[in-house]
Every structure is written in C-alpha cells, then in structure tokens.
Amino acid sequence: MNKYNFFKIEKYKKSIVISFSENNIKADDIYYDLNLLVDDINFDDNIWAVAFDFSKGFNIQNAADEKSIYLSLTELVMNIKKPTLCAINGQIINRAFEFILPMDYRICSDSSSFAMTQILDSNIQFDGATQLLPRIIGLNKAKEMIMFGVSINSKEAISFGLVNIVTNEDKLMNLMIEKLLKIVSFSPLAIQYTKEAINFGNETPTVEGMKMENDLSSILLSSKDRIQAINSFKNKKSRRNFKGK
C-alpha cells in the first residue's frame, strides 16, 4: 500500500499505522493522497482498524492558493469507516488540531498541548473545529478555546475528554499499538457498525439514531462472525477467528 507521496504506511495484524513523510506539511499536498488512502482503507477487507502516528509531532499549513485553501481534510478523516486511533506528541494547533478531532481514540504524551489560535489573526476555523470540538469537550470549554485562542495541556485535555489516555513520550507508540491490536481482535463488522451507529446518533435526533442502531444490529445478527461468536460461547471456546463477514 506504500504508493503515496506524503504518507508512510506500516502494516500490522489486520491494521495499518500511518505517518506523514515530514512533520510540517501543507494541506493541499496531502489532500489527494488522503482521498486515495481513505478509499483504500474502506474497500480493503484486510484492514480492520487504522492508527495515525504523530509521536514526533506534526503541523499542517493551510493550502498554498485560494482555490484549494478550503479543501477539507477533516471530512476525509470522517469518511473512514474503520476505527481510527492516533498517537499525539508536542504542540498541536489549528489544522493539525482539526485533523485529529474526528478520530475515535486519541492518546497523547504528557508534554502535548492543544490550541486554536486563528482568532488571534482575525480569522476563523473552517475545517470542522466549531462543529466537532463542542461535541467532544462541551460547549463552554470549546468556546473558550476557539474564541480566546486558549491553549490547554495534556492534563486538561484528558479532564475535558479531548484525549482518552495520557502517557510518557517513550511509552506512547507501544500503548497505541497495544490498543490497535486489541481492537482488531474483535469482530470488524461489530466494531464498524458500532462506530457508524454512535456517529450517526451524535448527529441526529435520538429516535433516528436508535432506529439506525437497531438496523445495524439486525444486519450483524446474520453475519458469519456473529454466528461464530455464538457457537464459541455455547461450546465454551475462547478462540474466535473473525473474518469480517
């Protein structure tokens, strides 16, 4: 899968770890690579989960010209159907901050910090921060970060729910790989449908979200993975060889 100009891909069991080819990169440089990568991930039955390696820090600059300045990287990440994890280190600001918001599980180092500073330049976020951040950390704290350009550290990030785990920098990648391998030990259909139901419910009225949850559960009941899980339980077998079907 290493056919991209700006991404490096490392394969693990039923999963991949993605990193940028350099730490400081332009949004329009990675947009088309990311578009291709998302399609590859969604249509590859051998990829059950995805992790982004930002353990060396990263920064995303705005597009070089006005025609492509509003290309949405966040929307592309939101289109990934498989579970997405990321390991974060260093100062994460503006476009890089927006890039990690749609991900399902975020681990950061204890030296990480997060900020939206566009307001200091009389500008506004345009790639999802005003919509996603309030849903993650709450309306009041999101307004404070965005409207005052406030920076928060790792302790604040975990207390607000922005990240799931804070760890030492030297343990960051090992912990992410541990979580990645854990999630691919589950039924890929069950995990994928769970993600879809949660995301759909978060963006729609409760009744509509419950209908979606019920529909996906009904589909899952007839899957081979579900039947195998039931048979394993009945026969008291702990080993389950899920196929994603």
Query: pLDDT per residue over 80-131, tens digit each?
Result: 999 999 999 999 999 999 999 999 999 999 999 999 998 887 777 778 888 8
Tell me the residue ranges of DSSP E strands in 116-199.
151-153, 165-167
Q: How confident is the model at residue 51 (pLDDT cuts 50, 70, 90)?
A: very high
Where in 90-214 does DSSP place strands (E)? 91-93, 105-109, 113-115, 151-153, 165-167
pLDDT band at 160 (very low <50, low <70, confident <90, very high): very high
Strand partners, 17: 10, 51
The answer on pLDDT for 226 being more than 70 is no
Longest CA pairwise span in the chain (Å): 64
As a whole number, the mean pLDDT across the chain is 86
Q: What is the reported pTM?
A: 0.84
Low-confidence winner among 81-95, 159-173, 220-234 (lowest mean pLDDT) = 220-234
Q: Between these two residues, 237 and 80, which has the higher pLDDT value?
A: 80
Mean pLDDT, rounded, for 212-232: 65
Among the residue ranges 61-65, 83-87, 141-145, 152-156, the one predicted with the least confidence is 61-65
Closest to 95 measured CA to CA, from 64, 136, 128, 57: 128
Length of the chain: 245
Contacts for 148-153 with beta carbons within 8 Å, 24 or more apart?
Answer: 148/119, 149/115, 149/116, 149/117, 149/118, 149/119, 149/120, 150/115, 151/113, 151/114, 151/115, 151/117, 152/113, 152/114, 152/115, 153/112, 153/113
Q: Is 19 left (phi over 0), alpha (psi -120 to 50) or beta?
A: beta
**136, 162 Cβ separation under 8 angstroms:** yes
* Residue-level pLDDT at 53: 97
In one letter, which amino acid is 125? Q
Rounded-to-integer distance, Cα 73 and Cα 229, Å: 37
114 phi, psi to nearest 5 deg: -140, 135
Q: Evaluate whether 79 touches 38 at the Cβ level (below 8 Å).
A: yes
Kindly tell me if the per-residue pLDDT of 35 is higher than 90.
yes
Q: How many CB atoms lie within 10 A of CB 68?
A: 15
Distances (CA, A) of 72 to 5, 26, 37, 50, 69: 18, 12, 15, 19, 9
Residue 57, C-beta contacts closer than 8 angstroms, at least 6 positions apart: 23, 89, 90, 91, 92
d(C-alpha 101, C-alpha 88), whole Å:
12
Site of tokens 């749609």:
102
The rounded distance, in Å, linking the Cα atoms of 53 and 6 is 13
